[in-house]
Chains A and B, each alone.
Chain A
């Protein structure tokens, strides 16, 4: 694992790696169709399920791959303790912005790459303002609302008291079932 530590610790290689990762991500988002306003808004209006198809297939591939990589020491878990105050309230505010803008933080950048001017002048500018506002309010929120209602567990296997691989198999079955349902109903 020493070579991995060298790559992770080298500032210059990390900058290049970040750029290359971003380029691949942007390419895949655009090819997947999710840099398009109509596709994202269509998902939130429940008429186009492309966004969920992309997300669920990413999770279905990544979940077992990460479990194996972690088991052999190639990856670490970054799962952290969440709270109702941070994750639920923040998630709902995010959702409202998601619907008004029609892009999320990654796809807004992707949309800029495809020529969407509203994503650049409205979306990315707004994201910078929103992130700055949060930075201003952070000291006041940190020990108050962000700490409210701590979740009972960090990971789903801990929460359900089930073995890691039992949870993975169950989740894979649920997600596959949902995707098959979408295809059967032509969604």
Chain B
């Protein structure tokens, strides 16, 4: 048993099947799709409450997605712990500032990588809330429920992602 947990990676089909079962368990036990972007709204709302309770309480979006520590909020700290456990068990945990693939094309400048990652994170957070979900909420849980909107959204995630990744690595990266 321990040997399996210490393996660096599992077959993507096994990991995927596990995520499929987990998504169904979430729908049964929490009556919620297993999504991740809601937690960022809640966390942002909680930070907003610290700065100005009155302003945050008045905002319409935080009345719909209430900033509180609940099931959806706990998913993110859970993922961090779970991935940490998995990488420690398989001895693959190590602090990295610039990913290998990025460095091979854009160099090892930490500031450049952080700026692009921050810009990406802003678009990701903004786009996820605009679309009402993320890769897991729409892509997996929404598709499991045969939601037409979720399947179209997931296709757009990849259409936009493939276009920008190709631009970044096959055009800008080559030109640099």
Contact = CB atoms under 8 A, between A and B. Distances in A.
Contact of B127 (A75, A96, A107, A122): A96
Contacts of B138: 91
Interface in A157-181: 157-159, 164, 167-168, 171, 179
A118 B40 contact: no
A154 B144 CA distance: 13
B83 A110 contact: yes
B50 interface: no
B135 A122 contact: no
A29 B9 CA distance: 10
Given A54-B16, A87-B149, A110 B80 contact: yes
A97 B30 contact: no
Interface residues of A, number: 127
Interface residues of B, number: 126
B146 A164 contact: yes
A37 B102 contact: yes
Given A86-B132, A111-B83, A126-B118, A21 B26 contact: yes
6 contacts: A97-B122, A108-B121, A114-B86, A124-B40, A126-B120, A138-B60
The 9 residue pairs across chains A and B that have the minimum distance between CB atoms: A22-B78, A126-B121, A95-B160, A82-B149, A130-B125, A122-B117, A26-B82, A91-B156, A90-B131
Given A28-B22, A66-B144, A69-B24, 6 more contacts: A22-B79, A25-B19, A78-B32, A78-B141, A118-B117, A125-B121
Interface of B: 7, 9-10, 12-37, 39-41, 43-45, 47-48, 59-62, 69-87, 92-102, 113-132, 134-136, 138-166, 168-170
